[in-house]
Amino acid sequence: MDDDYRLIKLISLVGWAHPAENKCGLRYSTDADESRLSETERTAGHMMCAHYSGAVEYHQGNTDVEQTMDRRQLPDFTLEFVSNLTDDAIVALGEMVKLSLGVGDKADPAVLGKHWIDDVTTTCWRLKLADYEDRFGRTE
């Protein structure tokens, strides 16, 4: 699986989007889970999901400029979201992953959340590096 698709698939575990209705967000299982994220974290998560929505449309064949930009910018907004999350936010993300994957009750949400963040971060860095212009031998 290529990294663009991998990132979309990983985000689908914690996010949702209805492009036709212009709606998206994180998959909070309860209002209490939503309150575990700070306002800054919720905003960054929403921005990630907004770009996820366009990236999904791009993956499905819609190559309009907006969807192309969303796909290209998705790693940036995703890295912004996953960087510096609080422990409560990590557990909330782990709960989302646990629910999405249907993992048993004994799975530790903190471990699942950390693993999801690590996998997402690694995938984003590979995408960023693939798009990075080589500067071998240049001093600027």
Query: Domain map of the chain by residue range?
Result: 3-131
Q: What is the pLDDT of residues 113-126, one digit of tens each?
A: 999 999 999 999 99
Neighbouring CB atoms inside 10 A of 65's CB total 7
Please identify every stretch of the chain with a pLDDT value under 70, giving residue numbers as ranges. 132-140
Structure-block tokens of residue 43: 């905003």
Closest CA to 91 of 34, 52, 25, 17: 34
H and E: helices and strands count for the chain? 6, 2
Structure-block tokens of residue 35: 């309150």
pLDDT of residue 39: 96
Q: Quick one: how far is CA 54 from the chain centroid?
A: 13
